[in-house]
Chain A
Amino acid sequence: MMRHLISAADLTRDDAVQILDTAEEMARVADRPIKKLPTLRGRTICNLFFEDSTRTRISFEAAEKRLSADVINFAAKGSSVSKGESLKDTAQTLEAMGVDAVVIRHSASGAPYRLATSGWIDAPVINAGDGTHQHPTQALLDAFTMRRRLVGRDAGLGQDLAGKRITLVGDVLHSRVARSNVDLLHTLGAEVTLVAPPTLVPVGVETWPCDVSYDLDGVLPKSDAVMMLRVQRERMNAAFFPTEREYSRRYGLDGERMAKMPEHAIVMHPGPMVRGMEITAEVADSDRCTVVEQVANGVSIRMAVLYLLLGGNDSDSATPARTEESK
């Protein structure tokens, strides 16, 4: 296993499958009356959040606590960062306090990579979302959700997503979720199609391992999973699209459109959803929509990542979930 988790592109197929398999074992913990493993007892993990994100922060915190780690939450607001302290000094302060791993969310693309490679600190770094670059645990939990739904919970063990047709719809340009998913899904053998208005597709997309379409209705019948990306209303002020209604008409998913998808196909969303914009309430609340499952799976995936990055380093740590070969 690697030392840091910075980008979904850094994961090999076997790394990714191992994380998904480990997450299945972690998910079983959630079914127990006492949802806790002693694996990371005595280890301290800092959730270093320079950007507001209640959902991702809580998900990491739940994962850390279920592995018995000590958790420090550091939010940039109200901290020394708002008084002008640099990322370097913040990181070194945390390391001096004996932090064993840093989970970082930052509005600047590349900040986690800098933290991991600049020599500022020694601790493993886990990227919890950086700017418009990467959000690898989101891609992993999405892949986990797809594998469970499209391959099967038990049948999926050891398997990738070969041949699955995945469609991502929405603001690709500003989306770290899209970048991470394209990388990981390609590694796992899926066929990815991006659908967006041309204004929300980055210049340079032609080298990505995926197709690009501007025609949602044409792509839906050929999709095993459709992931709707959040589209911020403010984007229309920068002329990315004319109005919210026009966006919805051309790229939003409503019940009528959902009916064009194959029967087995699922609807996904990384949250938070903008109901009425990229997704209607009818779709969001339907059985085919996996939004709530994705949240639950997020905890399992983050437990797996923390376990694999940190659990193997300490001989004292109990490892009930996996045996030696998983390290």
Chain B
Amino acid sequence: MTMSKTLIRGAKVLGGDVQDVLIDGGTIAEVGTGLSAEGATVIEADGQILLPGLVDLHTHLREPGREDSETVLTGTRAAASGGYTAVFAMANTHPVADTAGVVEQVYRLGKESGYCDVQPIGAVTVGLEGKKLAELGAMHDSAAGVTVFSDDGKCVDDAVIMRRALEYVKAFGGVVAQHAQEPRLTEGAQMNEGVVSAELGLGGWPAVAEESIIARDVLLAEHVGSRVHICHLSTAGSVEIVRWAKSRGIDVTAEVTPHHLLLTDELVRSYNPVYKVNPPLRTEKDVLALREALADGTIDIVATDHAPHPHEDKDCEWAAAAMGMVGLETALSVVQRTMVETGLLDWAGVADRMSFAPARIGRAQGHGRPVSAGEPANLTLVDPAYRGVVDPADFASRSRNTPYEGRELPGRVTHTFLRGRATVVDGKLA
């Protein structure tokens, strides 16, 4: 790390007053007006929005095992492009990240990439099979320091295993992030169950399969006094349950993906598997409820569920296609479109939902900190006036499975700083 200085001049910090921010080495040295540019590289922000570096609590980096779709290096480059300075890497790799060895490997690969901090998530159960607890303590005690545990991709559906996991991780301040999907109700599920699935003849994924697990898990968390995090909440009914749980004082947090804030199951009429994702795209009513819940804090954070897949796994018939969408490089634009431009959230709110809160839930050290003197210089500069059409060829991700191809989305990350070092400069990876 060079000890160079950078002066970001004239940025609206968290969308508020225009200020200068001086970065010295890895730290924010000063925030104020009319700061001296002496010895510093100057970035004219010109009224762009300065946010704390974004934190993604839900990323699939695919390494080890599926390096054809993403690696830690390509995934963290994609993350930096999207304004992220820290990502939590999901455990459903090959082999599964269910031992100290695998999480340390992912952690080390993240360190080597240098584009974005990588915090591995550990599996709750061995092989994500839902039968036997993985060595959660060993993963926490490893160099990777795992605090978030998830079988994401699969639900921890056994109530006893879930209860024990919730209890066990209390010893080291961990949290279980649940992929809420009742497996029996979703056998053969291909899309949201409703009007569109009835017409298209695709197997239905009913909202109740998510809501029933969330209801069970918030009650379990209350019973054993643990905290629980709900991954990619997707239905209006789930919002109601989480709202109720929070009103009871249950220690539950929840995330929503950008795609569930913007897209609906009407898109599946194209049978284009780029819209195939788990949980599936829901209805307009759900989308509006999710936006409202993110605005009022019922849903705590936006998490991408960035899920890269090789071209051949999407260039096929719907039933044969893989589930998932890439999201790191479009997340902030989708949030600007769905939350900021609708007046539901201001930029300080975006900073909270995409940086402060996810860092707090995942206990990410040095991330999600205020933009003030003495804090680590993890920063993202956004030009909200930018308008561009999404072209997957521009992605840093190794995969191209975006549902936004050809769509105009607002905003662009112009600069990202990871501990003072620019990872993105003028919209391009440094």
Question: A: which residues have CB within 8 A of B?
Answer: 86-88, 106-111, 113-114, 117-118, 130-134, 176, 179, 202-208
Contact = CB atoms under 8 A, between A and B. Distances in A.
A202 B203 CA distance: 10
Nearest to A202: B198
25 contacts: A86-B320, A87-B317, A87-B320, A108-B318, A109-B200, A109-B271, A109-B318, A110-B318, A111-B317, A111-B319, A114-B271, A117-B271, A130-B201, A131-B202, A131-B319, A133-B200, A133-B201, A179-B199, A202-B197, A203-B194, A204-B194, A204-B197, A204-B198, A207-B198, A207-B199
B271 A208 contact: no
A106 B317 contact: yes
Contacts of A132: 201-202
A110 B200 contact: yes
Interface in B190-217: 190, 193-202, 204, 206
A208 B199 CA distance: 8
A130 B200 CA distance: 10
B312 interface: yes
A198 to B, nearest CB: 14
Contacts of B190: 109
A114 B193 CA distance: 21
A108 B317 CA distance: 7
Contact-residue size bin, chain B (C-beta under 8 Å from the other chain): 20 to 34
B193 A86 contact: no
A133 B197 CA distance: 9
A-B CB proximity, top 5 nearest: A204-B198, A110-B271, A133-B201, A132-B201, A108-B319
A48 B4 CA distance: 65
B316 interface: yes
Contacts of B199: 179, 204, 207-208
A13 to B, nearest CB: 20
Contacts of B204: 202-204
Contacts of A207: 195, 198-199
Nearest to B206: A203
Contacts of B270: 117
A113 B316 CA distance: 11
A95 to B, nearest CB: 16
B196 A110 contact: no
B129 interface: no
A109 B315 contact: no
Given A108-B320, A203-B198, 5 more contacts: A109-B200, A109-B318, A179-B199, A204-B199, A204-B204
Contacts of B195: 204, 206-207
A204 B202 CA distance: 12
Contacts of A114: 271-272, 316-318
Contacts of B316: 86-88, 114
Nearest to A176: B201
Contacts of A203: 193-194, 197-198, 204, 206
Interface string B294-335: 000000000000000000100111111000000000000000
A262 to B, nearest CB: 30
Interface of B: 190, 193-202, 204, 206, 270-272, 312, 315-320
A236 to B, nearest CB: 16
Contacts of B312: 86
A207 B315 CA distance: 31
**Interface hub of A106, A117, A133 (most chain B Cβ within 10 A):** A133
Contacts of B320: 86-87, 108
A107 B202 CA distance: 11
Nearest to A110: B271
Nearest to A130: B201
A88 to B, nearest CB: 6
A205 B198 CA distance: 6
A113 B202 CA distance: 13
A26 B287 CA distance: 51
Contact of A110 (B193, B315, B317): B317
B109 to A, nearest CB: 31
Contacts of A130: 201
Given A204-B194, A204-B195, A179 B201 contact: yes
B315 A88 contact: yes
Contacts of A118: 315
Nearest to B197: A204
Nearest to A133: B201
A206 B197 CA distance: 12
Contacts of A204: 193-199, 204
B336 to A, nearest CB: 31
Contacts of B202: 109-110, 131-133
A87 B197 CA distance: 22
Among B197, B206, B312, B319, find the residue whose CB has the most chain A CB atoms closer than 10 A: B319
B202 to A, nearest CB: 5
A88 B272 CA distance: 13
B200 A208 contact: no
Contacts of B201: 109-110, 130-134, 176, 179
B385 to A, nearest CB: 35
A157 B244 CA distance: 62
A294 to B, nearest CB: 22
Nearest to B271: A110
B380 to A, nearest CB: 37
- Of residues B312, B317, B319, B320, which shows the largest number of chain A Cβ atoms within 10 Å of its Cβ? B317
Contacts of A208: 198-199
Nearest to B192: A204
A88 B317 CA distance: 9
A29 to B, nearest CB: 34
A133 B271 CA distance: 11
B266 to A, nearest CB: 12
A74 B364 CA distance: 56
Given A86-B312, A203-B193, A109 B319 contact: yes
A206 B272 CA distance: 25
A204 B193 CA distance: 8
A107 B204 CA distance: 16
A86 B196 CA distance: 26
Contacts of B194: 203-204
